[in-house]
Amino acid sequence: MCEKNNQIPKSCRLCGASQESQIIRAATVFGGRAEHNFWQCRSCDAVYLYPVPSIEEETYFYKKEFEKFMSSRSGQERDWSNAEAHIQTNQDQVSRRWKFLAPFLEPGMDILEIGCSSGFMLNAFREEGLHCVGIEPSGEFIEFLHSNGYETYQTLELLKESHSEPFDLVVHFFVFEHIRDPFQFLEENLKLLKPGGKIIAEIPCVNDPLTSLYTIPAFEKFYWSIAHHYYYSPKSLSYVLDKLDLKYEMLPEQRYDLSNHIVWMTEGKPGGQGRYSHIFSDELLEKYKQDLKKNWLCDTIILYVYK
């Protein structure tokens, strides 16, 4: 048995509430070391990584290890081995996201995607007639993005040095939870927008039923990732947005289906998405998701911020 030597945070990383309000939410961090835990603040509801990895550790991780790390987590449904395969196996994400993006898209708009990965969303935006710019910190896909004709930068700082035109839309999907300082990040996003511009983001919801409704030990060992600084609920996300005095809306979204949940319960593994679709009707699958969303016991938050 290895002893776990917990380092206790002095206060909440998000709202600064005192140590007495902090409890351990997850004692196992995927990809982390023994001292890492996810803590939960009983005041603002933030769930956060502690101790905090250094900026050097983090930079190295995104430059060299992120794709390998994601590939080790993704089961069979996403292929991280090369850019073309990554684009192909993410088309289901494009069509799912289109429902909440389409009402805001118009040909000719300037859009920035932060964390554009292989560019599978940029391709869809470009087909819609939008002018696309991407930020991608990983070295893995950057040459591929350039060869595909995209203006891309490895960091926000590099973008600001070379691109002074503001955007109609700033979008990011599963990026916000990786951000060390969410307040500063959102303020930077707003500065990049034209007046009347919008931020649209997709963020994991810590009320994911696999951790907040059901008890699945294998999922607990998998879910809490060293790549994330925070896991947000509607309450903790509202805390950030209200503190910045922003105008916003949040929608509940459920990405994973009933089959995925059953496979977690029976086999303790990811990759079950769609497994029983030949048995379950579309109505059943949709109703299951709706009931989870209605109760905000769902795996994803869609966030709109209006400048």
**Of the listed pieces 37-45, 107-115, 153-161, 271-279, which binds Zn ion according to CB under 5 A?**
37-45
Spatial distance between the Cα atoms of 193 and 172, rounded to a whole number of angstroms: 14
Closest contact distance (angstroms) between CB of 9 and Zn ion is 10
Applying CB under 5 A, among 12, 170, 200, 263 the residue interacting with Zn ion is: 12
- Is residue 270 within 8 A of residue 264, CB to CB? The reply is yes
* 41 binds Zn ion per the rule CB under 5 A: yes
Spatial distance between the Cα atoms of 43 and 13, rounded to a whole number of angstroms: 12
Closest contact distance (angstroms) between CB of 34 and Zn ion is 24
Closest contact distance (angstroms) between CB of 183 and Zn ion is 13
**Of the listed pieces 38-46, 54-62, 144-152, 270-278, which binds Zn ion according to CB under 5 A?**
38-46
Applying CB under 5 A, among 26, 29, 44, 179 the residue interacting with Zn ion is: 44
Spatial distance between the Cα atoms of 303 and 252, rounded to a whole number of angstroms: 9
* 15 binds Zn ion per the rule CB under 5 A: yes
* 297 binds Zn ion per the rule CB under 5 A: no
Beta-ladder partners of 47: 40, 231
* 11 binds Zn ion per the rule CB under 5 A: no
Tally of CB atoms within 10 A around 26: 22
Closer of 41 and 305 to Zn ion (Cβ) = 41
**Which tokens go with 178?**
């990786």
**Of the listed pieces 43-51, 142-150, 248-256, 292-300, which binds Zn ion according to CB under 5 A?**
43-51
Applying CB under 5 A, among 37, 40, 43, 225 the residue interacting with Zn ion is: 43
* 121 binds Zn ion per the rule CB under 5 A: no
Residue 253 main-chain phi, psi, to 5 deg: -140, 145
* 262 binds Zn ion per the rule CB under 5 A: no
**Of the listed pieces 45-53, 62-70, 88-96, 143-151, which binds Zn ion according to CB under 5 A?**
45-53
**Which tokens go with 120?**
């599978």
- Is residue 299 within 8 A of residue 254, CB to CB? The reply is yes
49, amino acid identity: L
256 contacts: CB under 8 Å, gap ≥ 6: 210, 273, 299
Q: Please give the helix or strand (H or E) that residue 217 lies within, else none.
A: helix 217-223
Applying CB under 5 A, among 17, 105, 156, 246 the residue interacting with Zn ion is: 17
Measured CA angle at 200 (ends 79, 92), to 5 deg: 30
The residue count for binding Zn ion (CB under 5 A) is 8
Closer of 11 and 74 to Zn ion (Cβ) = 11
DSSP 8-state secondary structure symbol assigned to residue 214:
S
Q: Which residues of the chain form contacts with Zn ion (CB under 5 A)?
A: 12, 14-15, 17, 41, 43-44, 46
